[in-house]
Structure 1
């Protein structure tokens, strides 16, 4: 910067300086005396302009209060209890995602859909998963003390027992037949899982996730036993048929930019599947209490400061309080009109721990589908399973995931490494009779035909059993029989029928045609008050073709049947099958064993 000193000079110099000052320096800036140096400093025009402009403070960019935070940041927030914070890191992430979408100025249909998904997931993940008492599980599956066939009624399962048996004369200490027959290995494993889960929950330990894969020929009840597990565990269930799936997007969703955009079947388990729970006013009050409190490091419940509650939690408390008030007012009105108060109500509830069944997954040959299954069954990473439509992660770490396959040699190696094989053993002759007997009771009651139960005898039930790996054919025969009885009831002819085993004529598909077509019929004719009525039952044989190795190590194809022998061991698959049916014909096993030898 130019400086000028106060020194003696002659007039000519001053004249020259005056010219220079007026012609060059003055229009461009100004001189200022510097008291520190005793000199004049020249201030340029640009510096003068900058001095006249208000000084702008350099502000640091504001951090979005709703942006994602790390688990460590959430831990600090939750520990301080000074700001609104959800009780788990994952809930906090969903809540922040919801807030970000709400702040968008112009929300499209996809934004609205994602907003609804956030709200639904908050509802599903906020509530702790229901863990039934062991005796409640046993009321469905049976007790190991009774070889999984029966159970003992106690205070925790007595109401379930009355509802299942449609009886009110059941008392604590009674021994009753289990709802599900067979499947010993599966029941044993699920029973152990439940007991361990109770212990881990009491200690505050996150349960170790197990991936059972159920092995058994088609029709042996792998899907049915999973439905019964959902009933015993009181969890929502999502059944996904993977066998014919040709696009991984069916599982993990499709991006919003695609024409067929939607969330995947995995997401469906959380937002579309629920159970109908029986609740009381005390349950609603307990839910409010759980929102307002937290469990400290010593396992004691402590009050959460008001400033620690999020807007969503405050709205949830307000809604629950309104429900309690309406319920109490309804009961007061009922009492005024002489009616009993309503003690319980049914309410659909979602869960963060649904049961997800990947059915016949080994039949899928698509790599992209198998890759998604790999992500789902990776217990180290499935807490961040990404749904492409939702554009947000799903926590699958608390799901009970099961897979089904027909044979072990078809199961991919990655599933064998991560999963637990459970053999679905073939049902015996007696177990099949028991299942069909229970199904007859259930269906006759459902169609208000319980008074006709005496028409169904054990001998007739044996006629309904088919020579198949599973029980599907027998259940079809139950349905056909109930429909036959319903028609007789409409025509007022059931009074002329003594028992269904007492037929007047019988036709059965000849064995040669039966084996060729792999199915046939048993046609029973009854003469009822001068009219002939016919009941047609399915006669089916289950044939499984597979590849085995002979004694020389050479592969060969064999066809096996339930009443035949095992190509590997030579033993009968089911050893209690009768040598001859009571109505005269013989099972295929008496005609030569393995189907390939017939």
Structure 2
């Protein structure tokens, strides 16, 4: 009976697999392997050859070896050198290792024979088997045509063999396959399945060899072209030397090529620049065309293509920097911190384009500088005020004389980074003329869906702007084109309150100006009363620029006094301002403090903050003319017409002559006629002034109002309430009438202003007049007849329907 189990030495193979009936020679160097060979030679020269899973394992254990190997016969052992032998073996039978029971001084295991499936004679001669054998022959011929080191006898052996099992083992031993693939063939006991697996591996190997051949062919052709170019360049240099021409041109071209290759650009961009270098090489050195190409290449190569600054995304650090650099503006700083938080959670996300809108001097530009500092980004500032040429944004075509890239590309090149913070200042002051519309050119720049491949007219190659953070500033959104405004998220910066200005002056402006004027802390002291007087009497602004100039003037006076006088310390109090800064340019009160007829304090919003806007109305005998003066815009003229029509519908309510529009001339005047005035918020002030003038009833002192009026007397909501209320407080007003729809805006007003003013919401003109006009002296409430009472009720019924209460005089 044939022995089917063995207790024999084991030789672990590294990167090698031995198949049955195959002769193979290999070298053995490990001591445990040499000891296993010695043990086998002492007995019956049988040894179990098995492949180890990892080549780097020096002393393999049972878990490091495959289970299936080959019981082989040692034919010859030769000592090659000290510690190395060469052995020739003949593969015997497939076997499976049951247990590796010895690991020193050599490996020894119990193994059992792995029986192979016997195929019938009919199956071996079947068409299916014949087709598999032919496919194997075709695949092997393709393989043999792509390798050069295949022995001659192998091909003949493959064509002559008709045994699928032997053919699969023979090819697996002689074809370049992976160790895992060889092992899978060794472990398969079915001859047909073994050969089918081999065909799959052989087909994949043919594909790999085809790709290798293709790559080798490309490399060979590139080397040939490079060698040809070198030979031609050498010939050109020889001819130039014979002609006495300089060789600097070739060195310049080589330098350009090396700089382009070092940038590691995209394939298309690199090919485009290389084409320009080749074009430069064909031009005479002193030609105008070569100068244009050199300028173009220099601009392109100065771009920081692969240079980015490491962004610092830390919400707490950003909050500290913003709080240190800016006082107030809590909502603005919160929105910027939220943007940084989003980038911290998703650094690869597309950032929004922020547009800071507010009056001059409130810190729009300085906020952008603080954001760049917080994010550790380079800052590049572009002032767009007065820009009218589209080429300023997109650049000029390089074929024009004096052409240059646009401001966007220039700013990126100047920042030396591909992820800077670009500050587009004064975006609301863009112009347009026959040279194009720069606002339209900005549409692609400020669109996160398009700017990943921005093309400047000068460069003509795509530039990725998606990593750039854009912040724009504007004084108003009215002049920004709607498509451009739609691409930005608007953040409103309102006016500073007097208390905020005090803190800004104390913590920022005074230390800054003292440093610029060479003053130490011990040399100049400006108390809070003087700062409040500066804010109240010497400035009229939303921001702090004029305030900073006033503080600079005080510092200059201090410098002069310290240098020319005997004093060593200057202390400024409120009483000193008149002598240091002359007369206050603004009177302390700009509104009527007395109860007058036809004079009302309105509230207006301007780009520099809120203002008190007086409205004067006068009624004279005439023919029904209406005259408007004060440099009014169309909107305010229409407000006067609407207020007059509203009062005509209420003549019975307020004892106004029903025929006044025929026999009275009305003159409405807005003082300071040189200053243009327009806006939809003076309606109730005009109506109050007209009613006062027509009835002779005085307007209460210490009251101001803002709101638009409709023909039926409804009071509409207005904007700029924060600035208007601060103007009222600054001017000494105690009571402010506001539209009822603006009550929700009171939450945005500073607590100091809310505590100092009394706000009265009004929903219709009757409520306004009842609050603003003094009682009539000619008639009292008791003298009114029941018929007039009925008229009042009828007149107020539309107001009740809208939810308001009828207030009767």
Q: TM-score range by the shorter chain?
A: 0.5 to 0.7
CA deviation profile, 1:546-576 (whole Å, cap 9, x unmatched)? 8868889979924999x98765548853488
Partners in 2 of 1:215 and 1:374 — Cα distance? 18
Residues 1:475 and 2:548 are matched in the alignment: yes
Whether contact under 8 Å (1:565, 1:571) holds in the other structure is: no
Task: Quote the residue 2:337 is aligned against.
Answer: 191
Whether contact under 8 Å (2:372, 2:378) holds in the other structure is: yes
Which ranges in structure 1 are unaligned for 5 or more consecutive residues?
A: 1-59, 66-83, 143-177, 274-349, 516-539, 581-585
Task: Quote the residue 1:181 is aligned against.
Answer: 327
- Specify whether residues 552 and 212 from structure 1 end up closer, same or farther in structure 2 by C-alpha distance, changes over 3 A only: farther
Measured after TM superposition, the shift of residue 141 of structure 1 is 0.7
Task: Quote the residue 2:430 is aligned against.
Answer: 364
Whether contact under 8 Å (1:214, 1:405) holds in the other structure is: yes
Say which structure, 1 or 2, has more relative contact order (CA 8 Å, 6+ apart).
1
Query: SS of the residue aligned with 1:259?
Result: coil
Residues 1:458 and 2:604 are matched in the alignment: no
Measured after TM superposition, the shift of residue 486 of structure 1 is 2.2
- Specify whether residues 460 and 101 from structure 1 end up closer, same or farther in structure 2 by C-alpha distance, changes over 3 A only: farther
Task: Quote the residue 2:498 is aligned against.
Answer: 429
Residues 1:376 and 2:445 are matched in the alignment: yes
Task: Quote the residue 2:558 is aligned against.
Answer: 485
Partners in 2 of 1:511 and 1:573 — Cα distance? 21
Residues 1:250 and 2:392 are matched in the alignment: yes
Measured after TM superposition, the shift of residue 471 of structure 1 is 1.5
Partners in 2 of 1:566 and 1:572 — Cα distance? 9
Alignment coverage as a number of residue pairs = 373
Partners in 2 of 1:377 and 1:91 — Cα distance? 24
Pick the structure with greater CA Rg.
2
CA deviation profile, 1:240-295 (whole Å, cap 9, x unmatched)? 2323111011112112232341122111221123xxxxxxxxxxxxxxxxxxxxxx
Whether contact under 8 Å (2:384, 2:426) holds in the other structure is: yes
Instruction: Identify which of 398, 407, 418 aligns with 2:487.
Output: 418
TM-score, with structure 1 as normaliser = 0.53
Residues 1:121 and 2:303 are matched in the alignment: yes
Measured after TM superposition, the shift of residue 413 of structure 1 is 2.2
Query: SS of the residue aligned with 1:407?
Result: coil
Q: Aligned ranges for residues 302-341 of structure 1 at < 5 Å?
A: none
- Specify whether residues 564 and 435 from structure 1 end up closer, same or farther in structure 2 by C-alpha distance, changes over 3 A only: farther
Which ranges in structure 2 are unaligned for 5 or more consecutive residues?
A: 1-219, 227-258, 591-607, 614-631, 644-676, 683-702, 708-716, 739-809
Task: Quote the residue 2:678 is aligned against.
Answer: 557
Backbone CA RMSD of aligned residues: 4.5
Task: Quote the residue 1:236 is aligned against.
Answer: 378
Measured after TM superposition, the shift of residue 192 of structure 1 is 1.3
Partners in 2 of 1:552 and 1:505 — Cα distance? 41
Task: Quote the residue 1:223 is aligned against.
Answer: 365
Instruction: Identify which of 578, 583, 586 aligns with 1:508.
Output: 583
Partners in 2 of 1:239 and 1:572 — Cα distance? 32
Task: Quote the residue 1:300 is aligned against.
Answer: none
Residues 1:135 and 2:277 are matched in the alignment: no
Residues 1:353 and 2:419 are matched in the alignment: yes
Task: Quote the residue 1:200 is aligned against.
Answer: 346
Query: SS of the residue aligned with 1:557?
Result: coil
Measured after TM superposition, the shift of residue 211 of structure 1 is 1.2
Partners in 2 of 1:215 and 1:473 — Cα distance? 19
Larger mean CA deviation between 551-560 and 472-481 belongs to 551-560
Whether contact under 8 Å (1:564, 1:573) holds in the other structure is: no
Whether contact under 8 Å (1:129, 1:351) holds in the other structure is: no
Query: SS of the residue aligned with 1:139?
Result: helix
Measured after TM superposition, the shift of residue 91 of structure 1 is 6.0
Segments ≥4 residues shifted beyond 4 Å: 60-65, 84-103, 504-507, 509-515, 540-556, 563-568, 574-580, 588-594
Task: Quote the residue 1:110 is aligned against.
Answer: 292
Q: Aligned ranges for residues 159-170 of structure 1 at < 5 Å?
A: none
- Specify whether residues 557 and 130 from structure 1 end up closer, same or farther in structure 2 by C-alpha distance, changes over 3 A only: same
Whether contact under 8 Å (1:441, 1:450) holds in the other structure is: no
Query: SS of the residue aligned with 1:357?
Result: strand
Task: Quote the residue 1:524 is aligned against.
Answer: none
Query: SS of the residue aligned with 2:571?
Result: coil
Task: Quote the residue 2:651 is aligned against.
Answer: none
- Specify whether residues 93 and 354 from structure 1 end up closer, same or farther in structure 2 by C-alpha distance, changes over 3 A only: farther
Partners in 2 of 1:96 and 1:224 — Cα distance? 42
- Specify whether residues 553 and 353 from structure 1 end up closer, same or farther in structure 2 by C-alpha distance, changes over 3 A only: farther
CA deviation profile, 1:22-78 (whole Å, cap 9, x unmatched)? xxxxxxxxxxxxxxxxxxxxxxxxxxxxxxxxxxxxxx998999xxxxxxxxxxxxx
Whether contact under 8 Å (1:209, 1:400) holds in the other structure is: yes
TM-score, with structure 2 as normaliser = 0.40
Measured after TM superposition, the shift of residue 372 of structure 1 is 0.7
Query: SS of the residue aligned with 2:437?
Result: helix
Measured after TM superposition, the shift of residue 351 of structure 1 is 1.9
Whether contact under 8 Å (1:244, 1:363) holds in the other structure is: yes
CA deviation profile, 1:325-353 (whole Å, cap 9, x unmatched)? xxxxxxxxxxxxxxxxxxxxxxxxx2212
Partners in 1 of 2:403 and 2:325 — Cα distance? 41
Measured after TM superposition, the shift of residue 386 of structure 1 is 1.7
Measured after TM superposition, the shift of residue 373 of structure 1 is 0.9
